[in-house]
Chains A and B, each alone.
Chain A
Amino acid sequence: EPEVTQTPSHQVTQMGQEVILRCVPISNHLYFYWYRQILGQKVEFLVSFYNNEISEKSEIFDDQFSVERPDGSNFTLKIRSTKLEDSAMYFCASSGLGGPNEQFFGPGTRLTVL
């Protein structure tokens, strides 16, 4: 069964450093998303991406964040200068032929900012 994959599973970084989180969405899916989940809290939307551009972003997704689909398979989230409060689980999701609302999530990347 096709699934969303994410790398790395755990990323530790120093405050102020740049990190790139990588995702491979389900093949043939057209809509891509990033969400985050701070430990013990609910999942929060960050950004949606379609047709090579951002379609919606939340207030969390400020100028420190960017997304990119550098090739036909990867979808990345970059945080330019990490802050302590960026520590969270980051989930990539994709949706496609089944209807744009059915989003399938990857296993997540745990980001720890020291």
Chain B
Amino acid sequence: GENVEQHPSTLSVQEGDSAVIKCTYSDSASNYFPWYKQELGKGPQLIIDIRSNVGEKKDQRIAVTLNKTAKHFSLHITETQPEDSAVYFCAASNTGFQKLVFGTGTRLLVSP
């Protein structure tokens, strides 16, 4: 089955810096890759996603890139703010209403 690896496990940046979180997946049939932000005591919140027919997607300060050949995808956050501090999870899924397989999470800390 699908296996998703995520790095780094923790990431500390200064406010205004960029942050990059990387994930790799194992199942070449996976075609949907969402990113979730989880704040303490809350459920995962979908922040951006990308499908396998697209190489890059951007939404304001957040962007995601996908390399299908290498089976990896990345989350890029520019101009980080303290409120970006949270745990970020990548996930992968294949067609239909299939399960999401999550990565192990990255704890992002943005210092003022």
Contact = CB atoms under 8 A, between A and B. Distances in A.
Interface residues of A, number: 25
A95 B96 CA distance: 11
B104 interface: yes
Interface string A88-103: 0001000100001111
Interface stretch (A39-47, A69-77, A78-86): A39-47
A85 to B, nearest CB: 19
A48 interface: yes
A101 B105 contact: no
A56 B99 contact: yes
A66 interface: no
Contact of B46 (A43, A102, A107): A102
B96 A100 contact: yes
Interface residues of B, number: 22
B100 A103 contact: yes
B43 A105 contact: yes
A4 B46 CA distance: 13
Contacts of B105: 42
A55 interface: yes
B102 interface: yes
A31 B99 CA distance: 11
Contacts, number: 56
A42 B104 contact: yes
A25 interface: no
A64 interface: no
Contacts of A35: 100
B98 A56 contact: yes
Minimum-distance CB pairs A-B, first 10: A45-B99, A105-B43, A100-B97, A101-B32, A31-B97, A43-B102, A105-B44, A42-B102, A107-B43, A42-B104
Given A42-B104, A103-B46, A107-B43, 10 more contacts: A35-B100, A42-B89, A42-B102, A45-B99, A45-B100, A48-B97, A100-B96, A101-B49, A105-B45, A106-B43
8 contacts: A35-B100, A42-B102, A42-B104, A48-B98, A48-B99, A56-B98, A101-B97, A105-B46
